[in-house]
């Protein structure tokens, strides 16, 4: 229903009426007009009726796999479609298929159709979208600067003025481009549909964001005016996106409809013109890709959603598939960092851990530090998200502390690690991650896995103490002075890395095995060797060769700078920026926060004895998939006596370690 108001002068501010219930939302009816005319709109209150999910015959990926003939497998794309694959060129089981492509070089068949024609398509095809009622589009955009606002008129049913609303210039430009000339357009726009002067309503509506962006008819992603050859770039990206698919497990592959079999291959270069590369870099600079709230808005967007810049439009699924494809290329010019920025909203973190999600988006901008949590609620693990109730009156440090304690208690892991705080400048406990930092130090800390699959035993003592059980292992001996940050150039980065070289010979034996060169090279990729991460790792020999030939001060063909176009150099840059090299009394080396000091302690798990009285349990045996509510480092164990299931190795429980004579201590963190 349209919001009733007394007739008001156009120059008077529009007066909001409270929503009838937490289930109600406001919608704007963007009135038709010519492109250059002032914005006019109506505002209505609507009970958002979420769609009833019709009964579906569609099988899960696991169940569908059981219906396939020998030699076939099925994968699921990020849009939810199934692709059937076979490494055999014998298509006799499925017959001819016009939606089938064959990669002759690799002997692989991809098809949208089940290889057994007797299988009902309803068992695997995507059902049609079923949006909420009343139907509306949700706008994803950036507020931008609110100086010199543009005035929009709010009208009643009969065209009378009910007052005015001030719009930021970016929103006003978007609405002028989005309105039709002959009929109204129904939209949800946060700046208008939420009373921004009512903190209680803001907190309530934050909890509705998931359903608003997920159940609308489509999301319109507004990037700003059309400029910098954006139309040409969209055309190129649409072509790439139409040639490949990305699967839910991260695989880039040719689509069954492809006309070009080469796009999915990592070693096939991208032959863009200089104008297109320039447009790509400028696109990555657009504010929409750097704001926090846009992340969940894009991730919730359905397959009908679009990306729009001025009058240039590209399908959202084509856009994100193209970005994923480009980022997987082995060689990329300086546009890689722009593509990486785009990829961070094009990927789907749903189902990943809280630590991974916060780590991925911690550097995004928002005007209120509370929103580092609230702005991601729709995509956070359900068990954690259900415990958060937005409260903009709560001190930010208290919010971050409660988040840390909630996830640590839930997972029995220390997974939520963010930016180290400067103890000389901050009164907040050092163990509370500072999620408000735009450019956090040492991202991807969780990739180190130094504590392995062990539970964290801790006790919180209000207000600021954390008592943890651990093992005294080694003491920091020295901390390098030289470091580099995200915004430094490649010359500064390579100079810092060379200044971190150990005083001993690289051929000397390392305390824990191998040589110092092994340890030095592994440190810069956080030991992300291919044996540990088959999908994204590097072989240690390859990394060592690059260091010996290019990166070390004694390199045979030394480079003068790191570049972000090379994948390995990009990984080294992002994993070591903002950190310092430390050495320990026993001769170990590693990267730490710049606030580390000589005399501080490090810790490491003791080596383990055979597993007695317990057995490892796979996810398949548990009858479920891994979810974001599980730890990032996980193994499941079943007690053979009482059937108990735990998510940490029982051999590193405090009591088990004490029985082995390990001298554990309680460390008090403040």
Determine the Cα–Cα distance for residues 633 and 434; give it in Å rounded to an integer: 22
Q: Which has more pLDDT, 63 or 597?
A: 63
- HSE-CB for 66 with a 13 A CA cutoff: 4
Q: Which has more pLDDT, 379 or 96?
A: 379
Tell me what the mean pLDDT of segment 27-50 comes to: 94
- The answer to whether the pTM exceeds 0.75 is yes
In this structure, what token pair is assigned to residue 261?
Answer: 């079999």
Name 481's bridge partners.
none
The helix (H) or strand (E) run that includes residue 355 is helix 354-361
The residues, any chain, with a CB within 8 Å of residue 110's CB and separated by 6 or more, are 83, 84, 85, 100, 101, 102, 103, 253, 254, 255, 256
Chain segment 230-244, per-residue pLDDT in tens: 999 999 999 999 999
Mean pLDDT for all residues in the chain: 84
pLDDT band at 533 (very low <50, low <70, confident <90, very high): low
When mean pLDDT is compared across 334-343, 470-479, 641-650, the lowest value belongs to: 334-343
What are φ and ψ of residue 317, in 5° steps? Answer: -60, -40
- In the predicted structure, residue 443 carries a pLDDT above the cut 50: no
Q: Estimate the crossing angle of helix 293-300 against helix 336-346, to 10 degrees.
A: 60
Chain segment 312-341, per-residue pLDDT in tens: 999 999 999 999 888 888 776 656 667 777
Determine the Cα–Cα distance for residues 300 and 219; give it in Å rounded to an integer: 8
Determine the Cα–Cα distance for residues 443 and 518; give it in Å rounded to an integer: 22
Name 2's bridge partners.
44
pLDDT band at 1 (very low <50, low <70, confident <90, very high): low
When mean pLDDT is compared across 62-76, 389-403, 557-571, the lowest value belongs to: 557-571
Q: What is the DSSP string of 22-46?
A: TTEEEEEEE----TTSPPEEEEEEE
């Amino acid at each position: 229903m349209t919001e009733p108001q007394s007739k008001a002068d156009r120059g008077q501010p529009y007066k909001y009426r409270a929503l009838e219930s937490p289930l109600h939302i406001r919608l704007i009816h963007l009135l038709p007009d010519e492109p250059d005319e002032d914005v006019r709109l109506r505002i209505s209150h609507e009970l958002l009726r979420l769609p009833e999910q019709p009964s579906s015959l569609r099988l899960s990926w696991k169940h569908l796999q059981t219906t396939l003939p020998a030699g076939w497998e099925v994968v699921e794309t990020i849009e939810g479609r199934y692709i059937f694959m076979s490494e055999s060129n014998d298509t006799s089981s499925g017959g001819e298929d016009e939606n089938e492509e064959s990669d002759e070089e690799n002997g692989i068949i991809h098809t949208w159709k089940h290889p057994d024609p007797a299988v009902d398509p309803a068992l695997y095809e995507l059902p049609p979208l079923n949006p909420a009622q009343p139907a509306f589009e949700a706008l994803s955009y950036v507020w931008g600067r609110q100086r010199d606002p543009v005035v929009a008129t709010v009208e009643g049913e009969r065209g009378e003025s009910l007052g005015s609303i001030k719009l930021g210039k970016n929103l006003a430009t978007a609405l002028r481009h989005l309105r039709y000339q002959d009929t109204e357009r129904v939209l949800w726009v946060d700046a208008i549909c939420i009373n921004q002067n009512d903190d209680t309503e803001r907190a309530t509506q934050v909890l509705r964001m998931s359903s608003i962006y997920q159940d609308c008819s489509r999301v319109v992603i507004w990037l700003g005016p059309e400029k910098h050859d954006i139309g040409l770039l969209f055309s190129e990206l649409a072509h790439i996106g139409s040639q490949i698919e990305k699967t839910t497990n991260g695989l880039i592959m040719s689509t069954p409809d492809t006309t070009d079999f080469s796009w999915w291959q990592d070693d096939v270069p991208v032959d863009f013109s200089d104008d297109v590369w320039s447009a790509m870099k400028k696109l990555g600079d657009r504010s929409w890709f750097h704001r926090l709230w846009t992340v969940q808005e894009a991730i919730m967007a359905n397959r009908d959603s679009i990306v729009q810049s001025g009058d240039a439009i590209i399908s959202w699924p084509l856009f994100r598939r193209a970005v994923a494809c480009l980022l997987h290329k082995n060689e990329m010019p300086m546009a890689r960092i722009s593509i990486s920025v785009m990829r961070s909203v094009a990927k789907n973190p749903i189902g990943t851990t809280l630590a991974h999600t916060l780590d991925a988006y911690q550097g995004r901008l928002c005007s209120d530090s509370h929103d580092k949590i609230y702005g991601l609620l729709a995509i956070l693990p359900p068990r954690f998200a259900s415990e958060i109730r937005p409260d903009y009156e709560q001190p930010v440090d208290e919010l971050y502390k409660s988040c840390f304690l909630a996830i640590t208690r839930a997972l029995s892991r220390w997974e939520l690690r963010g930016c180290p705080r400067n103890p000389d400048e901050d009164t907040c406990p050092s163990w509370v991650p500072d999620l408000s930092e735009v450019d956090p130090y040492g991202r991807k800390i969780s990739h180190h896995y130094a504590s392995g699959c062990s539970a964290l035993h801790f006790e919180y003592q209000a207000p600021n103490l954390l008592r943890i059980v651990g093992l005294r292992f080694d003491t920091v001996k020295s901390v390098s002075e030289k470091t580099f940050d995200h915004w430094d150039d490649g010359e500064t980065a390579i100079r810092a890395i060379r200044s971190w070289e150990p005083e001993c010979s690289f051929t000397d034996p390392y305390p824990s095995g191998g040589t110092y060169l092994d340890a030095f090279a592994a440190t810069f990729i956080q030991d992300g060797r291919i044996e540990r991460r088959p999908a994204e790792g590097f072989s240690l020999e390859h990394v060592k060769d690059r260091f010996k030939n290019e990166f070390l001060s004694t390199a045979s063909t030394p480079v003068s700078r790191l570049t972000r176009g090379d994948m390995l150099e990009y990984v080294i840059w992002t994993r070591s920026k903002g950190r310092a090299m430390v050495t320990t009394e026993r001769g170990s080396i590693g990267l730490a926060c710049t606030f580390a000091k000589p005399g501080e302690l490090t810790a490491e798990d003791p080596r383990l004895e055979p597993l007695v009285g317990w057995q490892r349990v796979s996810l398949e045996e548990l009858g479920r998939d891994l979810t974001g509510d599980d730890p990032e480092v996980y193994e499941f164990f079943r007690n053979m006596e009482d059937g108990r299931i735990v998510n940490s190795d029982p051999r590193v429980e405090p009591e088990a370690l004490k029985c082995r004579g390990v001298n554990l201590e309680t460390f008090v963190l403040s």
